[in-house]
Amino acid sequence: MSLTVLVTGATGFVGRRLVPALVEAGHQVKAMTRNPDTYDGQGDPVFGDVNDPGSLAAPLEGVDVAIYLVHSLDDNDFERKDAEAAKTFALAAAANGVQQIVYLGGLGKEGSQLSPHLRSRREVETLLAGSDVPVTVLRAAIVVGAGGISWEMTRKLVKNLPAMVVPKWAATLTQPIALDDVIRYIVGVTGLEKAYGQVLEIGGADQLSYIGMMQEAGEVMLGRKVPVLKVPVGTPLLSSWWIKLITGVNATTAGNLIDSMGTEVVQTDYTIRDLVPGEPLTYAEAVRRALEEGPR
């Protein structure tokens, strides 16, 4: 069934891979961006800014499904900005008769002490669901793909450092997922009525600590594990500014992500596999694909 699908954040890490996949699936895709004149991807570029309510009616006109891929992690005030944007978008989607909103959120146990980043993701889920439009939430941990902030941090740390000293949170479990699997799941739930109003967890084939991720990435990239020394307390070497120095990742973004790394983020529900069949990729395969697509 061909639908008209709006992708917000169409030029972002996930959006620029998602648009071609939706087109290939037979959908009519509107690629929402603040700079449609310079957009060179697939789909129909349309202007829209989630921070400007007046700009949303035009891109949402005639849309069946809206895919929401917006966040402000590079801003110190990201929680407020993301909350306001979600409320604005939900109201505009309802006013334009959108049938479904799909949102890529974050894993993490309910009732646990979530970081500001993960807490904000949950708030956005709630706010998007505050209108009459059914929302499908896909909760993921680290998404592994070329250009993804979390992956680029890992890649550059492994590439640039002969050994690493890490704090105790580096033993926390996470469940990284390949970008290809994220795209497959988003396309799979687009327009799928069984997924309306559902919160679905998505993850890769492996549950790993952050230490395990760096060591596996080292084996794929360098043919060896990177020596890692775990210390019982935090160290200034792992501050956001150190991450910026070693990897070039924006210090505010890095700091907001690091705050989340003490929270276990693993998949505990596998309903998604009934709705969108298929086995997810291993972390090692996700790393290989990310390296093939992007810089080494």
Rounded to an integer, the average pLDDT of 188-207 is 97
Q: Which of 90-99, 143-152, 226-235, 276-285 has the least mean pLDDT?
A: 226-235
Residues, the chain, total? 296
- Tokens representing 236 are 């200034």
Task: pLDDT band for 113, please (50, 70, 90 cuts).
Answer: low
Task: pLDDT band for 294, please (50, 70, 90 cuts).
Answer: confident
Partners of 173 in the β-ladder:
209
pLDDT of the residue at 18: 98
- The residue to which tokens 């890769």 are assigned: 204
pLDDT of the residue at 236: 41
Q: Which of 54-68, 201-215, 224-238, 281-295 has the least mean pLDDT?
A: 224-238
Please give the residue that has the higher pLDDT: either 248 or 174: 174
- The residue to which tokens 């596998």 are assigned: 270
Task: pLDDT band for 250, please (50, 70, 90 cuts).
Answer: low
- The residue to which tokens 């639908």 are assigned: 3
Mean of the per-residue pLDDT values of the chain: 86
Q: How many CB atoms lie within 10 A of CB 217?
A: 26
Instruction: Reply yes or no on whether the pLDDT at 249 is more than 50.
Output: yes
Rounded to an integer, the average pLDDT of 76-95 is 89
Instruction: Reply yes or no on whether the pLDDT at 255 is more than 80.
Output: no
Rounded to an integer, the average pLDDT of 247-266 is 64
In percent, the amount of the chain with pLDDT more than 70 equals: 81
Please give the residue that has the higher pLDDT: either 4 or 117: 4
Please give the residue that has the higher pLDDT: either 111 or 152: 152
pLDDT of the residue at 237: 45
Instruction: Reply yes or no on whether the pLDDT at 286 is more than 90.
Output: yes
Angle between helices 251-258 and 116-128 (to 10 degrees): 90
Evaluate whether 226 touches 215 at the Cβ level (below 8 Å): yes
Which residue, 152, 145, 209, is CA-closest to 177? 145
- Give the global pTM: 0.89
- Biggest CA pair distance of the chain: 55
Instruction: Reply yes or no on whether the pLDDT at 247 is more than 70.
Output: no
Evaluate whether 16 touches 41 at the Cβ level (below 8 Å): yes
